[in-house]
């Protein structure tokens, strides 16, 4: 090509000038054509490289999250959902049912909510509906037959963010027994004209907007105490209203904000999570642990259809020092989309589990499946941490396990490490650096060894036909085989759940509400190495020998059993009747007097028990069952328990 711009070309004779000019033009066109082809080839090459990179990134993301039942490509999911908005309906036709055995909500002849379980679902059912299309955005059941549930209902209603949301209320069985005046007044602010007259076994339905505008309401009563009011089938027709536009919220431009917008457009009842001005955080700064030995230990979260519980628990867990979000897996017992979306909201992996069994056996099968799947998905893991969806965790939750981990690795006599103290109430736990060995399995946030599960627990796990509680089974002497668990004096978890198969608000108030949870970071646990099997025996003997003797003329039920004037900073020992390791009468009576867990025997070590009373460390020794009985002074009368005094 260069020859057409060389001196030789200009020296051509005039005879050949025209032909040469035409030839030069042809060569120029060919040159431009070749340049264009080169440019196109480069563009195609760059396009191929870009697409290849996208495929590689997608493959890496798939490999990272291939165990999740849903696609968690956040950006793609958000934009896809924006394109898949359902069309606006012309009208919303609703039907609400309230009766003894059934509550239901239909929208445009489609059943969106129903509860007809036998011996379950008593109380007021609250269903939140999208005011634009009638889709269900949340639901809760509040058993207002039991004290305290009405207060929880107020909390849930106040957590509804959009003032134009439709709210449906329907009573199943009975709801008046402990529906307090404060709650009735709040329901009246939402538009109710009848709830103040709600009586024994009345049926009641109400449909309103969150701003207090009543749509419709009906109530039926009964005059006969042993009968229920007639069922209610209430119909309502409403025009669709606009919904809150979360795309206009001035949140940070991030994947977390995309997930938040998507979640808030589909679900309600999460309060300030969806606040445009001051949203609750879902992403937290990483607080590293020095010498973190458990960073790669997987964490299994046992969940079901309680998404608000999971939301609270994950916020707590992800703020604990040393957390590794990539190692957390939420196992959901059933195909509950809202629970899965809560996991997605925090960028945590989630897996659905097909339920098997009913009630306690269903929970037991879910645990077995979750533990097995965790070890299968983490073939190099020799340990795992298990936590339930209804637990808060302390800021040093992982620090606690990290400090005890070397002991757990080296001592086969340790059955588990638990973050929970069954007797760790505000009045009975005092030292957040103190640890115990106990002959029980507390659960509620605990660490499990792979070899124990694979070789002993999994092969013998109760089948779905057996209505057993998994934790009670694990506490059985034939399963535990003399091994003990390590527990803290001050728990590292708090059981906030007030509803469940084995839980209600009354039971929670009695045994769980007053539990203490550690609130400090960077707690240095004391004498961890002394918790090994042999060293702990030496420690116990030394503690009892150095302890002051309690006044055995006083009963543990007496308010002044341990005087606040007693010297602090030392231990006290008392001896009570325990003929053998299975004789628990006096022990349970002492627990009842001290307002501790008294439904069964927990927290014992060789027929002895440690706790705090008035900030004084006490050791109770069962005589003559305990080997520490040799320290009982000759002639000393055993502690007498006034069994007529109880809670």
Q: What is the 8-class DSSP label of residue 187? A: H
CB < 8 Å & 24+ apart, contacts of 579-586: 579/624, 579/625, 580/625, 581/607, 581/625, 583/622, 583/625, 586/622, 586/638, 586/639, 586/641
Active-site residue among 390, 392, 411, 586? 390
Phi, psi of 639 (to 5 degrees): -60, 135
State the Cα–Cα distance between residues 489 and 525, nearest whole angstrom.
11
173 and 121 in contact (C-beta within 8 Å)? yes
Active-site residue among 321, 471, 586, 598? 471
State the Cα–Cα distance between residues 424 and 489, nearest whole angstrom.
6
Full 3-state SS string of 560-607: CCCCCCCCCCCEEEEEEEECCCCCCHHHHHHHHHCCCCCCCCCCCECC
Q: Name the residue among 449, 472, 454 with its Cα closest to residue 364.
A: 472
Give CA angle at 478 (472, 480), nearest 5°.
Answer: 65
424 and 491 in contact (C-beta within 8 Å)? yes
Burial classification of residue 2, based on how many CB atoms lie within 10 Å of its CB (0-12 exposed, 13-18 middle, 19 or more buried): exposed
7 a catalytic residue: no
State the Cα–Cα distance between residues 85 and 121, nearest whole angstrom.
33
390 a catalytic residue: yes
259 and 344 in contact (C-beta within 8 Å)? yes
214 and 206 in contact (C-beta within 8 Å)? yes
State the Cα–Cα distance between residues 266 and 184, nearest whole angstrom.
28
Residue 211: cis peptide before it, omega within 30 degrees of 0: no
Q: Name the residue among 176, 161, 169 with its Cα closest to residue 208.
A: 169
State the Cα–Cα distance between residues 646 and 557, nearest whole angstrom.
8
Here the tokens at position 428 are: 């009975």
272 and 249 in contact (C-beta within 8 Å)? no
Give CA angle at 39 (35, 42), nearest 5°.
Answer: 140
Sign for the pseudo-dihedral over CA of 564, 565, 571, 573: negative
State the Cα–Cα distance between residues 280 and 561, nearest whole angstrom.
46
State how beta strands 232-238 and 92-98 pair: antiparallel
State the Cα–Cα distance between residues 253 and 513, nearest whole angstrom.
40
264-288: burial string, b at 16+ Cβ within 10 Å, e else: bbbbbbbbebbeeeebeebeeeeee
Phi, psi of 617 (to 5 degrees): -80, 120
User: Which residues belong to the active site?
Assistant: 390, 471
């Amino acid at each position: 090509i260069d020859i057409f711009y060389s001196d030789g070309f200009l020296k051509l004779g005039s005879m050949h000038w025209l032909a040469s000019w035409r030839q030069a033009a042809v060569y120029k066109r060919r040159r431009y054509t070749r340049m264009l082809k080169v440019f196109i080839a480069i563009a195609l090459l760059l396009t191929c490289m870009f697409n290849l990179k996208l495929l590689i990134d997608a493959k890496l993301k798939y490999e990272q999250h291939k165990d999740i039942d849903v696609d968690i490509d956040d950006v793609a999911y958000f934009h896809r959902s924006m394109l898949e908005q359902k069309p606006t309906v012309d009208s919303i036709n609703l039907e609400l049912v309230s009766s003894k055995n059934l509550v239901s909500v239909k929208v445009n002849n489609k059943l969106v909510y129903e509860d007809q379980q036998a011996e379950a679902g008593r109380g007021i059912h609250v269903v939140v509906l999208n005011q634009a299309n009638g889709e269900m955005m949340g639901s809760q059941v509040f058993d207002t037959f039991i004290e305290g549930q009405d207060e929880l209902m107020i909390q849930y209603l106040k957590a509804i963010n959009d003032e134009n949301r439709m709210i449906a209320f329907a009573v199943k069985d009975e709801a008046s027994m402990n529906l307090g005046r404060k709650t009735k007044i709040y329901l009246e602010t939402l538009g109710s004209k009848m709830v103040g007259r709600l009586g024994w076994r009345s049926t009641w339905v109400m449909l309103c907007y969150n701003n207090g505008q009543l749509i419709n309401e009906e109530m039926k009563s009964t005059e006969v105490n042993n009968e229920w009011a007639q069922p209610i089938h209430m119909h309502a027709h409403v025009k669709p209203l606009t919904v809150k536009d979360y795309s206009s919220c001035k949140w940070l431009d991030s994947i977390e904000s995309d997930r938040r917008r998507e979640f808030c457009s589909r679900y309600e009842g999460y309060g300030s999570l969806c606040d445009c001005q001051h949203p609750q955080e879902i992403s937290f700064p990483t607080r590293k642990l020095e010498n973190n030995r458990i960073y790669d230990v997987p964490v299994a979260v046992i969940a079901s259809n309680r998404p608000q519980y999971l939301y609270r628990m994950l916020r707590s867990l992800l703020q604990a020092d040393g957390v590794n979000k990539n190692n957390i897996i939420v196992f959901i017992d059933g195909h509950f989309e809202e629970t899965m979306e809560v996991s997605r909201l925090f960028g945590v992996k989630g897996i659905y589990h097909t339920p098997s069994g009913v009630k306690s056996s269903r929970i037991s099968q879910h645990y077995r499946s979750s533990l097995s799947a965790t070890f299968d998905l983490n073939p190099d893991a020799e340990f795992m941490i298990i936590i339930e969806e209804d637990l808060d965790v302390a800021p040093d939750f992982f620090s606690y396990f990290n400090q005890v981990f070397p002991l757990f690795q080296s001592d086969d006599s340790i059955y588990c490490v638990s973050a929970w103290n069954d007797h760790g109430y505000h009045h009975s736990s005092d030292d957040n650096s103190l640890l115990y060995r106990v002959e029980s399995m507390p659960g509620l946030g605990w660490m499990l060894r792979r070899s124990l599960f694979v070789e002993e627990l999994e092969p013998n796990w109760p089948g779905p036909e057996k209505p057993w509680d998994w934790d009670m089974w694990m506490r059985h002497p034939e399963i535990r085989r003399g091994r003990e668990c390590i527990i803290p004096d001050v728990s590292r978890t708090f059981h906030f759940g007030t509803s469940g198969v084995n839980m209600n608000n009354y039971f929670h108030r009695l045994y769980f509400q007053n539990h203490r949870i550690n609130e400090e970071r960077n707690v240095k646990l004391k004498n961890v190495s002394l918790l090994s099997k042999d060293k702990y025996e030496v420690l116990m003997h030394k503690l009892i020998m150095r302890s002051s003797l309690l006044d055995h003329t006083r009963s543990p039920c007496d308010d002044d059993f341990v005087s606040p004037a007693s010297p602090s900073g030392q231990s006290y020992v008392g001896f009570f009747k325990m003929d053998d390791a299975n004789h628990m009468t006096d022990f349970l009576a002492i627990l009842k007097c001290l307002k501790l867990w008294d439904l069964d025997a927990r927290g014992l070590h060789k027929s002895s028990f440690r706790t705090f009373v008035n900030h004084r460390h006490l050791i109770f020794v069962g005589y003559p069952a305990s080997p520490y009985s040799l320290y009982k002074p000759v002639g000393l009368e055993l502690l007498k328990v006034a069994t007529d005094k109880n809670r």
